């Protein structure tokens, strides 16, 4: 799944940014729910804030998974490049 997300262009920075935004959005939804629905009380506002606030850990986790995938991919690319250079050098001296 992480490879698929990476292939469509999602990067770890995107997930981290979305997580930070969701923290702010949690506060905004809690505050807006208090103002827009005053009759519903604090309980409903808390539920909205918690609902949106639960996105942040998920998005941070996704960011970490994408970051690990990106590092692994970079390591494999570097190894492949080094192997190719070694082969070229051996072919040139033989």
Split at pLDDT 50, 70, 90, the class of 42 is confident
32 close to 52: Cβ distance less than 8 angstroms: no
Split at pLDDT 50, 70, 90, the class of 51 is confident
Number of domains into which the chain is organized: 1
DSSP-assigned letters across all residues of 1-63: -HHHHHHTT--HHHHHHHHHHHHHHHHHHHHHHHHH-TTTHHHHHHHHHHHHHTHHHHHHHHH
Q: Which domain covers residue 88, as residue numbers?
A: 2-93
pTM of the model: 0.69
The pLDDT assigned to 93 comes to 60
Split at pLDDT 50, 70, 90, the class of 65 is very high
């Amino acid at each position: 799944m992480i490879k698929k997300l990476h292939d469509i262009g999602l990067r770890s920075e995107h997930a981290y940014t979305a997580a930070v935004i969701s923290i702010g959005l949690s506060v905004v939804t809690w505050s807006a729910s208090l103002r827009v629905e005053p009759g519903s009380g604090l309980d409903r506002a808390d539920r909205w804030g918690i609902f949106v606030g639960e996105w942040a850990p998920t998005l941070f986790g996704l960011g970490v998974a994408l970051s690990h995938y990106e590092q692994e991919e970079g390591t494999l690319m570097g190894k492949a490049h080094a192997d190719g250079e070694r082969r070229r050098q051996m072919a040139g001296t033989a």
